[in-house]
């Protein structure tokens, strides 16, 4: 039994931490800029792991007092820490930036989910739809090539990570992208707002349709 005696005055303050689900895709998006600053980033293991992967390919990432500063610089895939990639599911959101920088990506199947191995078919199919070549298996994902020009449309199957990754993959692609059944949770909209604030052209409908008009370039710096 729970007994509550009221009539007491409450006082004090609470620091509200930033959202993990918002921070992780924003870290992936930061690699599209020369410099990016993110604030109120939660200091948790998934964030630290994702930053370690980012550093392993040569990007700079300074994280202190919940402020994250990233410089993408001249990234190289040779040093990519594949063990860490396989540790967290969020690592798959780095694929768009890595494809842009390297032209190809070969990574182990992303893990880190307590509910077991989750499918990534929607993610891979989306990349194939926009012109990349590749395969996926129980062991990993392999993608290469360049995005094609022109208008495309496909479904994201309401998958949050796939929606976020495909937003990043299409924001600079020449042409219009129409994504049906896109996820529109608050952290997805946070990514959309961040990109739109720095030059992207993305619109979101409450019918879960997302339209992306590819732009020539984003701003050099983001905050």
CA angle 50, 63, 40 (to 5 degrees): 90
Evaluate the CA torsion angle 100, 150, 124, 171 in order and state its sign: positive
Range list of H helices, 35-105: 45-56, 82-85, 95-102
76: Cβ contacts below 8 Å, ≥ 6 apart: 57, 58, 102
Q: Measure the CA–CA gap between 204 and 25, rounded to whole angstroms.
A: 17
Catalytic residue numbers read 113
Q: Measure the CA–CA gap between 188 and 167, rounded to whole angstroms.
A: 9
| Pick from 156, 134, 163: nearest CA to 147 | 134
Q: Specify burial of residue 212 (Cβ count, 10 A radius: 0-12, 13-18, 19+).
A: buried
């Amino acid at each position: 039994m729970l007994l509550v005696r009221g009539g007491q005055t409450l006082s004090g303050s609470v620091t509200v931490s930033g959202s993990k689900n918002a921070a992780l895709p924003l870290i992936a998006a930061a690699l599209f800029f020369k410099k990016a600053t993110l604030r109120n980033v939660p200091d948790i293991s998934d964030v630290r792991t994702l930053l370690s992967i980012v550093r392993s390919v040569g990007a700079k990432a300074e994280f202190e007092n919940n402020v994250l500063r990233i410089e993408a610089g001249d990234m190289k895939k040779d040093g990519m820490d594949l063990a860490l990639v396989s540790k967290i599911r969020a690592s798959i959101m780095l694929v768009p930036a890595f494809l842009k920088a390297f032209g190809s990506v070969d990574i182990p199947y992303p893990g880190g989910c307590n509910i077991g191995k989750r499918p990534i078919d929607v993610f891979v199919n989306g990349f194939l739809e926009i012109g990349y070549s590749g395969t996926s298996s129980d062991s990993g994902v392999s993608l290469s090539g360049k995005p094609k020009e022109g208008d495309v449309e496909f479904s994201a199957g309401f998958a949050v990570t796939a929606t976020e990754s495909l937003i990043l993959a299409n924001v600079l692609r020449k042409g219009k992208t129409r994504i049906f059944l896109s996820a529109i949770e608050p952290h997805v909209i946070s990514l959309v707002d961040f990109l739109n604030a720095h030059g992207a052209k993305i619109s979101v409908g409450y019918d879960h349709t997302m339209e992306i008009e590819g732009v020539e370039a984003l701003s050099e710096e983001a905050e």
